[in-house]
Structure 1
Amino acid sequence: MSQVLVAAVALLVGLLGSVVPGQAAVVRPAAAGPASDPCYVLIQVSPGVFEYVNICPDPDEDGGGGDGGEGGGGPRCDLTEEPYDEFCLGTKACRADIPSPLPESEWPEAHRPSPDHIFTFVQCRVPGQDELYERWRWIEPYEGALPGLGWQALGRLQTPAFTMSFTPAGMTYVGADTQYSIDGLGDGEIIGSVAGPLQATGTLSHVEIDPGDGSEFLECEPDLEERSRGCEHVYLQMSHDQTTEDFEGRPGFAAQARLVYDVTFTMGGVEVNLPGVPDTLESPWNGTVVPVGEIQALVRTR
């Protein structure tokens, strides 16, 4: 009986091979899954929806987002069929969502090929195939994408918080010169963060002021040395019938102001023209209540 047991053990060892003490037998999958593939990154592609996204280019691609040309020989793909007529990825004719529908905070920055690349959804027509190539991926924006990125760059300009005041402080009077001041302008320049290769810069042009009494808006020129802006208006009526009140409960005109900036766009430090993208930016309105009284004159007879 013992001889039969020894023979059975020997046969089992021959079938399984030698086992090193302390090691367990491991069953390995035929192929590695996305979680262990360096080309795949877990991305939140929509609120609450996570997917493994392949961030590695396909073998036939020369680079991201260009025309796919080689040595100046022109594009390698057919860009004659809409909407896949924006750029080439190798031999694939593609389009992309510009600007990216993903907020930049969700981009896999650790894998970004260069600061000029953006992470977005791409659809391509593949020669000889009916099925579209669809992927979230890095691309370097093509020339036609710049206006779309310009809107994104424009949206990254933040106008400063400012306050509005007037003199004579507290209350002005019918027929008197009322001067408005705007404080908190900074140095008159605002610079946005980059959107792909584009960056927007705003230079303060002027301040628009609505006196609140139904008269036309005023335009005030910048006074950057004092970081304030002043211009004058003469109220021709009292504010006793107004519904807005100041902190002391006095009715007044709801005067307000907004900052207006001239906007330029640069790519690599060089200014570019973006048709269809606004070249001015207006801040939100901010204001103050201006009570307007009347100086009573006393007339004496001799």
Structure 2
Amino acid sequence: MGVAPLILALLSAGLVALGVSPAAAETPQCVSTGPTGQVIIIDCEDGGGGGDGGDGDEGAGGGSGPQCDLGSVAGLGKPDASRWCEGVNACWANIPSSVYPDPEDWPEGQPDPEAVYIYKECQDPSGNIVVSEWTWHIPDGPSLEELARQAYGMLAPSDFSLAFSPPGQAVIFIDTWWWAAGADGEIVGTAALGVRAVGEPSHLEVDPGDGSGAMTCPFVTSESDACAHTYERASDESGYPSRARIVYDVHYEQNGNVLEFPGLPDSLESPWTETAVPVVESQAVVVR
């Protein structure tokens, strides 16, 4: 095979590293810089694959309303390249890559026997390349969004007991305070490839059990007047069936980088924790 046919054959693969300068390419919009400074010739079929990227979000950033401009990477890579958002950065990768380092040059720590090395690139909103690296990918494995969903399923809300004051029993027309005794703060669910779901306590929902309905309170774990309710009627001997739960705000990360998946849950509610609250009409002394 001659040199020219060989180059054409390699170009048709979708991604070829050539030792030429960008000025040497006839279609500069199809040129990018690889992780070691080499020129990367990108498949420019159909005029570079441009457009608004409306259906180009084929990667981990699936769903509507991505936080980045995927149109900025719509013409990069092969037509079926994966494209996704990492925060405000638009990323793409050919999976599998058209060319990649010899397996003997791959770094140690291969996460799976079937994992291969792929080239990944991310651009900020100004079009600057902020990530240009080779990273691991498991062929036919779950997408980043699927991994994030798995990580969400691994989130375990903190156990706690619903405490109140005055201790033992409440008194009508006197504030009763509530808090989540023993509750922990941040919770984390993990999946493969460094994907994590992180839950941060947002607030408490407390239902005093007297028919007044649930109220929203700050997330408090020790005695405080931040979450208070005033009973207006005494209870029977069994007390009011009060209950509470923690509501978490959830976000997703991969190796410390924020991932945006509009289709995934952004909150998590713990199971209800219940406690009976006897309420009396009067008491000589109220001690908190």
TM-score (norm 2): 0.51
Which whole-Å CA distance do the structure 1 matches of 2:140 and 2:223 have between them?
A: 40
Give the secondary structure class of the aligned counterpart of 1:149. Answer: helix
Deviations 1:203-224 (A, max 9, x none): 1111111111111322221346
| C-alpha distance in 1 between matches for 2:80 and 2:206 | 54
- 1:62-117 CA-to-partner distances (Å, cap 9, x unmatched) read xxxxx9754453466879xxxxxxx85579xxxxxxxxxxxxxxxxx76363899x
Q: Which has the higher contact order (CA 8 A, sep 6+)?
A: 2
Maintained 8 Å contact 1:258/1:286: yes
Alignment match of 1:221 (pick from 206, 218, 232): 218
* 2:182 is the counterpart of 1:184: yes
Q: Residues 89, 68 of structure 1: CA spacing in aligned structure 2 closer, same or farther, 3 A cutoff?
A: farther
Q: Aligned residue pairs: how many? A: 176
From 265, 272, 276, give the equivalent of 1:278.
265
- In the alignment, the residues of structure 2 paired with residue 72 and residue 197 of structure 1 have an alpha-carbon distance, to the nearest angstrom, of 30
1:148 aligns with: 146
The residue identity in structure 2 corresponding to 1:231 is C
Taking the aligned partners of 1:229 and 1:69, their CA distance within structure 2 comes to: 63
Aligned partners of 2:147 and 2:191 also within 8 Å: no
Cross-structure match for 2:231? 235
Q: Does 1:264 align with 2:251?
A: yes
The separation in 1 between residues aligned to 2:224 and 2:257, in whole angstroms, is: 31
CA contact (8 A) 2:96 2:139 kept: no
- Indicate the residue corresponding to 2:6 in structure 1: none
* Aligned-pair CA distance for 1:148: 2.8
- 1:270–1:288 CA distance, 2 compared to 1 (3 A): same
Partner of residue 208, structure 2: 211
Report the TM-score, using the length of structure 1 for normalisation.
0.49
How is 1:4-43 mapped onto 2 (pairs within 5 angstroms)?
none
| Deviation digits for residues 220-265 of structure 1 (CA, Å, limit 9, x no counterpart) | 21346x598951111111222xxxxxxxxx3111111111111111
Q: Distance in 2 between matches of 1:286 and 1:185?
A: 11
Identity %, equivalent residues: 35
State the alpha-carbon separation in 1 of the partners of residues 170 and 115 from structure 2.
61
Q: RMSD value over aligned CA atoms?
A: 3.8
Contact 2:148–2:191 at 8 Å: present in 1 too?
no
Q: Secondary structure at the match of 2:42?
A: coil
**Counterpart Cα distance in 2 of 1:273 and 1:254:** 39
Runs of 4+ more than 3 Å apart: 67-72, 74-79, 87-91, 112-116, 226-230
CA displacement 1:143-189 (0-9 Å, x = unmatched): xx333332211111111111112112222122121111211122x11
Match of 1:134 in 2: none
Decide whether the 8 Å contact of 2:116 with 2:138 is kept in 1.
no
Tell me if structure 2 keeps the 8 A contact 1:185–1:227.
no
Structure 1, unaligned runs of 5 or more: 1-66, 80-86, 92-108, 117-136, 241-249, 298-302
| One-letter amino acid of the counterpart of residue 232, structure 1 | A
* CA pair 236-68 structure 1, distance change in 2 beyond 3 A: farther
Matched, 1:139 2:126: no
Closer/same/farther in 2, CA of residues 256 and 114 from structure 1, 3 Å limit: farther
The one-letter code sitting in structure 1 at the alignment partner of 2:264 is: V
Distance 2:41 2:276 in 1: 64
* Native 8 Å contact 1:180 1:231 kept in 2: yes
SS of corresponding position for 2:227: strand
Kept after mapping to 2: 8 A contact 1:254/1:287: yes
**Structure 2 residue aligned with 1:111:** 113
Instruction: Tell me which residue corresponds to 2:166.
Output: 168
Contact 1:77 1:88 in 2 (8 A): no
